[in-house]
Amino acid sequence: MKPATSSDAAHWAARRERGSLALMRLTVWAVRRLGRRPMTPVIYLIVFYFFVLGREARRSAHDYQAALAEWSGQPGLRPTLRSVFRQFMSFADALLDKLDVWRGAIGLEQITVDDPEGVHRRLTQGRGQLLVGAHLGNLEVCRALADINDIVSMNVLVHTRHAEQFNQLLAEAGASRMRLIQVSELDPAVMLQLNERLDRGEWLAIAGDRVPLHGARTTTVNFLGRPARLPQGPWLLAGLLRCPVNLLFCVKDGGRYRVSLEPFARSISWQRRERDTVVQQWAQRYADRLAAECLRVPLQWFNFYPFWRQPAAAGRRSQTAPAGSRSDPGGADAS
């Protein structure tokens, strides 16, 4: 593996989308008309095409698998060409599941919910809360089921400026209670809007493992034994909006989806001088939990960009994690 160059490490959000709204519409239409089985070979051929030509995506998957193997002390997880390809195929399977759930082919009876603390019961009770997920497994299953089963209004906070296109596609697919909200910066207008949605009983969902391109505050944590930058956004949001934080993971396990809901922080607060330290601590706890989930389903973390080799320019506002040994594979306890 040759050393990364600055061009290799271009930010994920700065890359051109390899697709369009028209292509997404065509894919949705084809699956609806032809069904999943006839479309599966087509999707897999497309993924194979990107596997062959996507040199950087292959390297990024290789880096992740190597870090996981070293951190966990499990030599069997060391990356091979076959294991990297299997991760691409796992991503293809997740894409097909996204289409299935929006057309109603995946229902609650096909999902196992792991919710020992009763987070699910609070979805329709009182003020909304914050759900922090990751690019692990298939959160689209949770989002779609929340909408299709009329459980709760869900607002998914994204860093892409293509949110309106996706909103249009979701509306055409029948999604009525879920909306993507583009949040490049947490300005007063955005904060007011989010606070009003929480007061109406709506919930907010955000991924904690993607660093936005512009105006992002980041913090450096230990993830899989290596320094990694994570966004401060989820933890700043929770503190400013004064709302509890829950973790949400949805992974495929034995042909079924397992949804894990767990309370993570009853409240996040800080004095001005200690804000960065408090936020870094919560980001580290999140990184520990994400690492534990990655170890349970090694091929289902779908970040096909240089996660540990992000450009230095994007990290100018980052805070550095305190030195320490590798994180406990068991993860941090929820507070």
3-state secondary structure of 96: helix
- Paired tokens of 115: 């919710």
Q: pTM surpassing 0.85?
A: no
Contacts of 263 (CB under 8 A, 6+ apart): 117, 119, 244, 245, 246, 334
Q: What does the pLDDT read at residue 47?
A: 83
Residues 6+ apart with CB under 8 A from 155: 178, 179, 180, 181, 194, 197, 202, 203, 204, 205
Cα(87)–Cα(310) distance, integer angstroms: 21
Per-residue tokens: 254: 């034995």
Residue 161 pLDDT > 90 = no
Asked if the model's pLDDT at residue 45 lies above 70, the reply is yes
Q: How far apart are CA 317 and CA 300, in angstroms?
A: 30
Q: What is the pLDDT of residue 225?
A: 96
> Each residue of 247-279: pLDDT tens digit?
999 999 888 888 888 999 999 999 989 999 999
Per-residue model confidence (pLDDT) at position 133: 92
Query: What number of other Cβ atoms are within 10 A of residue 258's Cβ?
Result: 17
**In the chain, where are the structural domains located?**
12-315
pLDDT in tens, 321-331: 433 333 333 33
pLDDT in tens, 118-139: 887 777 778 889 999 999 998 7
